[in-house]
Structure 1
Amino acid sequence: MNYEHLFADLATKTIRMALVGPKGGFGRSLLVQCRALPALEIAALCDLDLDGTLATLASLGFAADAAKVCNNAADVRAAREAGRIALVGDHALLDDIALDIVVEATGQPEVSIKIAQAALRRGVHVAMATKETDSVAGPYLNQLALENNVVYTTPDGDQPSNLIGLVTWARVLGFEVVAAGKSSEYDFIYDPDEKSIGYLDQRHAASLASCWTLGADIPATLAARSKALAMLPQSATPDYCELNVVANSTGLLPAADALNYPLARLTELADIFVPKEDGGILERTGVVDVFNCLRRPDDVSFGGGVFVIVRCKDDETWELLRQKGHLVNKNGGYACIYLPYHLMGLETPASLFSAVLTGRPTGSSKQLPHARMVARTSRDFKAGETLSMGGHHHTIDGADALLIDQAKAGNAAPFYLAANKRLMADIAKGTLVPLDALDLQGSALYDAWQRNPSL
């Protein structure tokens, strides 16, 4: 694919963008890339922390007068007429700005759903980086975009969009996608000399000598690794959210309700994510799943990347590719194709260009609710309590995330719809949080979820 040909119109067009949530890692990295792209004009920035946003711009080298704080529509008009970025704290003021696309990156579903709906209804494209919102109401927002002749898309640079791209690339080329997945957020770095494992800034004594090599009994080896590293977290709530988005966009179903999370080295993926009858861990094919990247200090990281496992259809072809260094499993029946990176907002302009210049999403244009991320209680809850969500990983205190088939979800509430809602009834430990136990009065996200198309 020659991207300079695909986006040749960049030489003559200017794309007016609003970024909501510019202070986070995603927003900041997108602002970095905008500075190198004259065709991408930052028309507006929206954040409750106006001083913090101005500080972010200053730290990136923007001129002191690049942005103007706007408190009303008149301020917005004055800022734009002067060629300055309109900096707003109230997202409703975005409606007063001429825009081609809104990038939504607040991470706050009840807010982001309102921002996305308002933009789509007035004919503005939306790139949804708040995957929590997409996991609940992505199919509806996609449908709303089609009704208004605009694009709703996941943005490249986030794992969901990158994985959707890899899956659809494989399908267009005629590959059978057996499994598609991603690595979880942080690597597990094993030092065999010190017999220790590093994870973020933690270091623990651990020996993987007896299970470092995958061996003939793959499930047993993976179980031994998990047990040896039981002192470390081996799952993360955002993974369920991201793979919910991918499932809805591709039709691939969850490999397991709790996802599998094998501690796996990059070279092992084509042996692990294959059917059980072929020595792997999968109960079925055509699935999404996640692994924890296990490596030595001198091994390359997977970089938070994405992969597909495809079925090999000609032994001679794949043996040739194995000789060239490609990952083919030991039986020669499956291969792993992967992208060992996701670069956050540095990649996102490709999605913005695709939406505005070609009218096509880098996500799916046929999104349907194939899976549902839900919350299962890990303790008893009483009516009147709140399912409080917090932390970097947006966990609900007292509940675990699962990703289940839409067909068996029944009355279970989507995870991010349940988050921060007050309970109207008791819920026993081990129960999927039901919709009818939640106080959903006034929830814009619930209203949007109810508008999702059905399969």
Structure 2
Amino acid sequence: MTAAYIGAGHFGTAVIAQQSYVKDLSIPVVGDISKENARQAFVKAGIPEEKIRYFSTADEAEALLAEGLYLYTDNCGVIPEISQIDIICEGTGNPEAGAEYAMAALNHGKHLVMVSKELDSAVGPQLAKEAADRGLLYSPVDGDQHGLLIQMIEWAKLIGLTVISAGKSRDGEFVLDEENQTVSVEADGITIHESMSVKIPDDKMKYFRMIPEGADPAEYIKERAEVLKSLPAAGAFDLCEMTIAANTEDLEVQNPGFEQGILRITELPVALCTKENGGIYDKYGNVNVFTCLRRKDEAGMGGGVYLVVKCDNEYANYILTTKGQIPNYDLTTAVIYRPYHLCGVEVSTTLLCMGQLGITTGGEKYLPKYDLVKRALEDIPAGTVLGGDHDLTMEGQVLAASSKSPEAPVPAHLLNGCRTVCPIKKGQMITYSMIEDKSDSSLLWKLREEMESTFEIRR
């Protein structure tokens, strides 16, 4: 099984570097707009310099691959034309470019592994259908949280667990120092840009102890959020991943910005269950993002994923809540969690499942139920070119999917690189009437229109 990877960023470089340690996995072709970044992916993988070659055409690549060489290019559009490639990983993170590469891969008969959550959140169901129509496979990727969460939910359904809530923890964790009454977060250079600390007032310290039996978890979530409001909250990239998970699984978004509770691992089954079990939800099947609260000497979540579940028969529920899983107080729910996500290091499982077993590591269905959209966090002048999920002038929200109209919110990653045509006031949702229309020039926008028609999105 031979794969190619487009997009030699942090995630992609890890995929390339790990291949040498995985049996039956070969990724000898890497593309990136920076040919040096593409070359460095092989260098960091320990490939000898004499075995690394640049190519610019498919014919050239095929000849060099026959010699057993590793190839890089900045002409990524030719990669789908290479006959030796079975699977293409789209990992550019650029939804416009990604749409072009994804459709080129499918049109050349390649299975498609979707690493770019930006593209996936906007038109993933349509790409999955395009693949199926051609007898090809389309899959989310192991290593990123939505892919891992989808697998965990599929496992839970397979063994008959009822999923009350599911989601991810943020990469940044809030560390509680009880003696000094502080909560701090460390910069990670990716999602948290500045190390910060907050002093907890004496009269609020009780809210940072374990949520006690009989207490209202919503009150604790609210009070912690108020005290720690100066610390960074979840980003649109966090909501982006959970949008994909919600569209793949039977999950519902109860709050457009998610509850974003600041919670200990041990509090997940206490808070993120239904009200009848003492939690915050009215019904089953909720998706969420939370920030892990822990002491310095406690294990964290590592940006991992979780399920709060129950069994619908008493004896199985007894086993679930007494065999190592963390339960709530009345033993009616338990949390099952995976305290890590290893990004590109884990992608090999998706590639091998696809290449050797002919299956994906995703769910059985993928429907466009929800859209990630954007709201202005400050006044945005006319003529502004909007950025992606790290653009701090906007924040993400998750709403029911809607079709294109002047008043409809624009799916977040159709906004990337778009220019505003009017001033946008702080607090306004960004709608189609506020940005340039790229329907005639963008494959991404065309795929979105096809998806809205295919799945009869009417709202």
Q: Is TM-score (shorter-chain normalized) higher than 0.5?
A: yes
Deviates more, 1:91-100 or 1:272-281: 272-281
Q: For the residues of structure 2 that align with 1:320 and 1:119, how far apart are their CA atoms?
A: 46
Structure 1 residue 312: deviation in Å? Answer: 3.7
Partner of 1:139: 125
Structure 1 residue 205: deviation in Å? Answer: 4.2
Q: For the residues of structure 1 that align with 2:403 and 2:449, how far apart are their CA atoms?
A: 17
What is the DSSP-based 3-state SS (H/G/I as helix, E as strand, rest coil) of the residue aligned with 2:331? coil
Partner of 2:216: 217
Q: 2:164–2:308: 8 Å Cα contact kept in structure 1?
A: yes
Deviates more, 1:299-308 or 1:417-426: 417-426
**CA displacement, residues 200-235 of structure 1 (integer Å, 9 cap, x when unaligned):** 242424237321221312111222211222221122
Counterpart AA for 1:454: F
Partner of 1:47: 32
Partner of 1:326: 325
Counterpart AA for 2:426: K
**CA displacement, residues 221-273 of structure 1 (integer Å, 9 cap, x when unaligned):** 22221122222112211111001110111131213111011000001101111
Partner of 2:138: 152
Q: Does 1:166 align with 2:162?
A: no
Q: For the residues of structure 1 that align with 2:349 and 2:315, how far apart are their CA atoms?
A: 36
Partner of 2:414: 417
Q: For the residues of structure 2 that align with 1:106 and 1:351, how far apart are their CA atoms?
A: 18
Structure 1 residue 408: deviation in Å? Answer: 9.8
Question: Residue 429 of structure 1 is aligned with which of 426, 431, 440?
Answer: 426
Aligned positions of 1:192-211 closer than 5 A: 192-201=178-187, 202-207=195-200, 209-211=205-207
Q: For the residues of structure 2 that align with 1:276 and 1:407, how far apart are their CA atoms?
A: 30
Q: For the residues of structure 1 that align with 2:424 and 2:397, how far apart are their CA atoms?
A: 17
Counterpart AA for 1:399: M
Change (3 A) 1:333 1:256: same
Change (3 A) 1:77 1:142: same
Q: 1:255–1:284: 8 Å Cα contact kept in structure 2?
A: no
Partner of 1:118: 104
Q: For the residues of structure 2 that align with 1:258 and 1:183, how far apart are their CA atoms?
A: 14
Partner of 1:58: 43
Structure 1 residue 382: deviation in Å? Answer: 4.3
Change (3 A) 1:284 1:372: farther
RMSD: 2.1
Change (3 A) 1:385 1:297: same
Partner of 2:191: none
Question: Residue 398 of structure 1 is aligned with which of 389, 393, 396?
Answer: 393
Q: 1:312–1:332: 8 Å Cα contact kept in structure 2?
A: no
What is the DSSP-based 3-state SS (H/G/I as helix, E as strand, rest coil) of the residue aligned with 2:206? coil
Partner of 2:168: 182
Partner of 1:16: 2
Deviates more, 1:281-290 or 1:160-169: 281-290
What is the DSSP-based 3-state SS (H/G/I as helix, E as strand, rest coil) of the residue aligned with 2:279? coil
Partner of 2:455: 454
Q: For the residues of structure 2 that align with 1:125 and 1:137, how far apart are their CA atoms?
A: 17
What is the DSSP-based 3-state SS (H/G/I as helix, E as strand, rest coil) of the residue aligned with 2:293? strand
Change (3 A) 1:48 1:386: closer
**CA displacement, residues 60-79 of structure 1 (integer Å, 9 cap, x when unaligned):** 31111222111234432332
Q: Does 1:292 align with 2:291?
A: yes
Q: 2:80–2:88: 8 Å Cα contact kept in structure 1?
A: no
Identity of aligned residues (%): 28
Aligned positions of 1:343-358 closer than 5 A: 343-358=342-357
Change (3 A) 1:382 1:196: closer
Partner of 2:57: 72
Structure 1 residue 26: deviation in Å? Answer: 1.5
Deviates more, 1:121-130 or 1:34-43: 34-43
Q: For the residues of structure 1 that align with 2:173 and 2:211, how far apart are their CA atoms?
A: 18
Unaligned residue ranges in structure 2 (runs of 5+): 188-194
Q: 2:311–2:320: 8 Å Cα contact kept in structure 1?
A: no
Aligned positions of 1:227-306 closer than 5 A: 227-306=226-305
**CA displacement, residues 337-378 of structure 1 (integer Å, 9 cap, x when unaligned):** 222221112211111111122222111342110111011123
TM-score, structure 2 as length reference: 0.89
Partner of 2:11: 26
Q: For the residues of structure 1 that align with 2:29 and 2:116, how far apart are their CA atoms?
A: 18
**CA displacement, residues 249-300 of structure 1 (integer Å, 9 cap, x when unaligned):** 1131213111011000001101111123543222443121111001111111
Q: For the residues of structure 1 that align with 2:222 and 2:397, how far apart are their CA atoms?
A: 20
Deviates more, 1:219-228 or 1:110-119: 219-228
Q: For the residues of structure 2 that align with 1:305 and 1:53, how far apart are their CA atoms?
A: 28
Unaligned residue ranges in structure 1 (runs of 5+): 1-14
Change (3 A) 1:82 1:440: farther
Q: 1:188–1:198: 8 Å Cα contact kept in structure 2?
A: yes
Change (3 A) 1:368 1:377: same
Report the number of matched residues.
Answer: 436
